[in-house]
Amino acid sequence: MKKFNLLLLLLVASISIYSQSYWTEIQSTEASGALNKSYFVDSENGWVVGQSGMIKHTTDGGENWLNQYQDNEKLFKSVYFIDEQIGWTVGWSNIMHTTDGGENWEEQLHPPSIGDFNDVFFINQDTGWIVGWYKIIFKTTDGGENWEKISNHTGGSNVYTQVRFWDSNNGILCGSSNNGGIIMITNDGGMNWTETTPENTKSLNALSINSLGEVFVCGSDGELKKSEDMGNTWINIEVETNYFMDIEFTNNEGYLLTRYGLLKSLDNGNTWEVSIWAPYFRDCSIGGNTLYGCGDNSSIYVFRKEVTEWEMQYFYEPLNFKEMAFFDNNNAYAITGSGAAHRVLKTTDGGHNWEIDSTKLYTWFNLLDSYDQTIIMIGANNTLLKSTDAGNNWESIDLPFTYGIYNDLSLTSENTAYLCNDSSTLIKTIDGGLSWTSIDFEDYHKFTISYFYDDNFGWLVDDYSGYLARTKDGGNSWTFMKVDESHTYVPSSIFFIDENNGYITSEMGYVYKSTDGGDTWEEVFKSETTYRPIFYFINNEKGYYFNKSQIYYTGDAGLNWSSHQTLSNGITCAFFHEDNSWIGGNLALMALNTHLTGIEENSEDKQSYFTIYPNPTGGEITLELPEESIGITTVFISDMQGKIIKVVPINSITKTIDLSRLQSGVYFVRISDGIKTGTKRIILN
């Protein structure tokens, strides 16, 4: 089945009546974004905070995470707890405090300041400090009921990133300044600070104190330093890496977080060695004997000593749906993401909830198409994954090398598929992907769209020239054409009802129609404000049009449009199975229509309206229409999924139709005289 993200095939609630139907949004949208900091008081109880004012809490070592707080107007950068009940989180200009483990959070007042808060640390339930931009230093001695501003200067660009104390008097902070890194120490509880930064120190991101009381600072350009005297003097440590995000110690073990890896020390930081690859984290923390990491897409990972790789505990991508394929009314796969980075998700409850397919975690996939129970995904490094049993079992196949990237996939049957790239190449398989034939073109073409109605009839869009290429023989020969010589706009969507009737739309909103298989095109509609508009016509008159979050309906071949429905976010893809239709879009948009493609026999006077015989049939059927049905001009044959697979003109009250080329199964025949519509089910043996 050709994927429907190019042109959403939006049929009507019942093909027998073609009544307009509505979609219900079913995907719940929770807070999303980066998690900036995590903190564990023991092996079971921990918190993470980040963008959208997110605060998440676990009481079982990260097996489950509960959303405790969310405020899209806030951003938290640090969190610290004294015990299981009392804690603080800070970010931007907000200080939040809890005394019941995060069940309730209250905002604490503070003196006026300029700049964001970056870190918070408490030595006990009363005494704590906050540091941030523009040399912000705050102190409290009553648990945050009152905060005293020690420092806040707008001159220069000094940023304090982290603060720690050995006791109520001796402390240290690090950060960056106009000249690189900065280190400050205090011996009077933070009332006065002295700079001890060595020369040529690079910007510093984090610090940590080990079990011996030694303090380490780390940052950009591989900066890693150690002090054995509470920050007065420093020893440079050479490690072969160029950027450190965070550093943590527990007992005599230390962990250094780089952009994409983790270094480990077993001797309190004297020597370091590469431990394991790590996803892109913003922070790491230690709970008991377990290391936790958090970062973009609300991701939380755990690294246990008894295993050799990171285990993902939580991940919430905003679910910008790109492609999806349903095998029944419950089970489906989808690709989400943006740019070149996409993840594979699956649902088992009809699209209400989606989870990452962990077996495909470490490969980016950007193309997906399906046909019946067969599904193909195309990923990075010319990777192809194929399943012929609705995703229960997968086979990996290497694709031919390409100088460009594969931009579009057309799966026209269980064994036939086409892949186009931006280097003048189209490849084709007729054995389910085991072998591929390259179809090369002499001139340069940047093929961005591959659309095939069946194994033989298909189209390519050349984004470089704006031309269309058409084949009628499975890619052996091609005809290049311009849709409209007066415009240079590149086509962005293609859909054909049959080999004659098709539609093309451009990113600028021009919609063209062909009734001769693409030999000629006629402009039928121009939207005033559009971005990659998406169309589908049920027949020559009725169709739906999608512009961003809007759904429009036409009943006169696109000459006039009426506003039909508004969804919460932009629409990007859709899929149809039996009576259900799913629409996917940006920011977790998932909308379901359970009456969209259902086909029922006409409930009114089936016997007198029109007659079909023989039924069941071995190949031919004869339609007998009432004499008053002079308005009937076309007969539509549809399959069980509502796809119109044959259109037959009719000019008499008796018509014989040859169905011998169709596969055996159940089909529906629809006729209309402009007032009444009738549909009957037939069985083809």
As a whole number, mean pLDDT of residues 63-84 equals 89
The reported pLDDT for the residue numbered 380 is 75
**What average pLDDT does the chain have?**
83
As a whole number, mean pLDDT of residues 27-40 equals 77
The reported pLDDT for the residue numbered 630 is 52
Q: Distances from the Cα of 442 to the Cαs of 329, 423, 439, 478, 671, in angstroms?
A: 45, 11, 10, 12, 47
The reported pLDDT for the residue numbered 674 is 46
Q: Is the peptide bond before 491 cis (omega within 30 degrees of 0)?
A: no
How far is residue 335's CA from residue 321's CA, in Å, rounded to a whole number?
6
pLDDT-derived band of residue 376, with 50, 70 and 90 as boundaries?
A: very high
| pLDDT above 80 for 509 | no
- More reliable by pLDDT, 602 or 93: 93
Of the ranges 22-26, 268-272, 382-386, 472-476, which is most confident? 472-476
The reported pLDDT for the residue numbered 624 is 85
- 216, 260 in Cβ contact below 8 A? no
* pTM recorded for the entire structure: 0.53
pLDDT-derived band of residue 63, with 50, 70 and 90 as boundaries?
A: confident
- 36-295: which CATH topology? Methylamine Dehydrogenase; Chain H (2.130.10)
pLDDT-derived band of residue 252, with 50, 70 and 90 as boundaries?
A: confident
As a whole number, mean pLDDT of residues 90-103 equals 94
The reported pLDDT for the residue numbered 111 is 92
DSSP secondary-structure letter at 360?
Answer: G
3.40.50.720, 2.60.40.3080, 3.40.50.300, 3.30.230.10: CATH of 606-684: 2.60.40.3080
| pLDDT above 50 for 644 | yes
Q: Is the peptide bond before 279 cis (omega within 30 degrees of 0)?
A: no
Residues whose CB falls within 8 Å of the CB of residue 258, separated by 6 or more in sequence, listed in order: 241, 243, 244, 245, 278
How far is residue 51's CA from residue 35's CA, in Å, rounded to a whole number?
6
Asked whether the CA dihedral 115, 116, 118, 122 is positive or negative, the reply is positive
397: exposed, middle or buried (Cβ count in 10 Å: 0-12, 13-18, 19+): middle
Please write the tens of the pLDDT for every residue from 385-426. 999 999 999 999 988 887 777 889 999 999 999 999 888 889
| pLDDT above 60 for 507 | yes
List the one residue out of 347, 411, 337, 412 whose CA is nearest residue 380.
Answer: 337
| pLDDT above 60 for 606 | no
pLDDT-derived band of residue 78, with 50, 70 and 90 as boundaries?
A: very high
Token output for 391: 């995703």
| pLDDT above 70 for 7 | no
Per-residue DSSP letters for 260-295? SEEEEESSTTSS-EEEEE---EEEEEEETTEEEEEE
| pLDDT above 60 for 339 | no
- More reliable by pLDDT, 181 or 32: 181
Long-range contacts: 442-448, Cβ < 8 Å, 24+? 445/469, 446/404, 446/422, 447/407, 447/408, 447/420, 447/421, 447/422, 448/407, 448/408, 448/420, 448/422, 448/490
- 118, 137 in Cβ contact below 8 A? no
The reported pLDDT for the residue numbered 207 is 96
- More reliable by pLDDT, 120 or 542: 120
529: exposed, middle or buried (Cβ count in 10 Å: 0-12, 13-18, 19+): exposed
pLDDT-derived band of residue 1, with 50, 70 and 90 as boundaries?
A: very low
The lowest-confidence range among 332-341, 446-455, 615-624 is 332-341
How far is residue 327's CA from residue 375's CA, in Å, rounded to a whole number?
9
The reported pLDDT for the residue numbered 327 is 92
Please write the tens of the pLDDT for every residue from 182-222. 999 999 999 999 999 999 999 999 999 999 999 999 998 88
Domains 36-295 and 606-684 share a fold: no
How far is residue 72's CA from residue 150's CA, in Å, rounded to a whole number?
29
pLDDT-derived band of residue 16, with 50, 70 and 90 as boundaries?
A: very low
How far is residue 274's CA from residue 226's CA, in Å, rounded to a whole number?
19
The reported pLDDT for the residue numbered 216 is 97
Q: Give domain limits for the chain.
A: 36-295, 317-593, 606-684
The lowest-confidence range among 272-286, 314-328, 492-506, 521-535 is 521-535
- 586, 570 in Cβ contact below 8 A? yes
| pLDDT above 50 for 12 | no
| pLDDT above 60 for 159 | yes
Token output for 220: 């950009």
- 317-593: which CATH topology? Methylamine Dehydrogenase; Chain H (2.130.10)
Long-range contacts: 484-488, Cβ < 8 Å, 24+? 484/510, 484/512, 484/521, 484/523
Please write the tens of the pLDDT for every residue from 557-596. 777 777 778 887 788 888 877 667 888 888 788 888 776 5
